[in-house]
Amino acid sequence: MRLGLVGAGRWGKRYIATISAMENVRLVHLASTNPESASLVRPDCRLSRDWHELTTDKTLDGIILATPPATHAEMALEAIARGIPVLVEKPMTLSVNDAHAVVEQARRAGVLVMVDHTHLFSCAFRTLEARGASLGDLSRTRSSGGNWGPFRRDTPVLWDWGPHDVAMCLALFGATPLRVEARRASVAQSGEGTGEAIEIELGFGARRSAEIRISNIEDRKRRHIEATYTGGTLVYDDLAVHKLTFMRSPSSGTEVVPLDTSLPLTNVVSEFCRRIESGESSNPSLDLGLQVVEILVACEMQLVAANVRQAG
């Protein structure tokens, strides 16, 4: 499998390392303006500064986009027009119109487009989904994601940390929320930039809800989701020694759930390659990517409106 990659920043470097450790998958073309690019890849990997050169590279089986979110729509649409399968980093786009355009063009052209909400591909989360299906109705999720920073000018915390938690909640409930509420819980200034904590609630009706907190002003890194079912509670903590635990009742004690050791990004790339090889042209992550964008835009509009009210 011959893959191209656009972007050799923080996340692009992770893709490079992941692909280099995989069998039967090679990174053969990298488009990047990173001056370190040549030292990051094998000598036989073609280097370009212009990402358009990847979409005209007929030797590629697929392209991965690890670039700032504002660039995703243009790049994905050009790859789709060329008939090249695309794996897009989260969030798929920053606007609902762009997200719809990618979905519609992918379907019309019959081209595979996947969106990488990385935690959905972790063994802990996938096991949580599978075990949760046997525990009855899901009534509530509570999640938190954050750290101190990063303070990105091009990607605010809502769009940086938010896609992960929103995607996990949507995947677990398997439904579109009937209610979306967002509020800015706190704001902090530092020498690195302005940070904030945002609280989101998604209502799925009949006392079913998701409570989310995302922040880039935390005292330590957090990536945690608790899912409460009729038959017990599952907790995925990506930073814990035991990433998935189960508690049947508050008095029953905690059970460690065994997991395999495959890495989320390896699972993402492997699934992308499998779907290319099998000739698939659709993937549920695309529709989920659109849903995530729609919800984040709704949250963004509420936060902007709150700012206007406070300023007035």
If you average pLDDT over every residue of the chain, what do you get? 95
- Asked if the model's pLDDT at residue 310 lies above 80, the reply is no
The full set of domains in the chain, from first to last, is 2-118+265-283 (3.40.50.720), 120-262+298-304 (3.30.360.10)
Q: What CA–CA distance (Å, rounded) separates 20 from 17?
A: 5
For residue 107, how many C-alpha atoms fall within 13 Å in the half-sphere facing its CB? 9
Q: Could you report the per-residue pLDDT of 235-266, keeping only the tens digit for each?
A: 999 999 999 999 998 888 899 999 998 999 99
Contact present, 145 and 165 (Cβ < 8 Å) = yes
Letter string b/e over residues 108-133, b meaning 16 or more CB atoms within 10 A of that residue's CB: ebebbbbbbbbbbbbbbbbbbbebbe
What is the arithmetic mean of pLDDT over 278-305?
A: 95
Among 49-53, 188-192, 303-307, which is the least confidently predicted range? 188-192
The strand pairing partners of 232, in sequence order, are 229
What pLDDT is recorded for position 157?
A: 93
Model confidence, pTM = 0.94
The amino acid sitting at 216 is N
What pLDDT is recorded for position 312?
A: 64
Q: Which of the pair, 150 or 73, is modelled with greater confidence?
A: 73
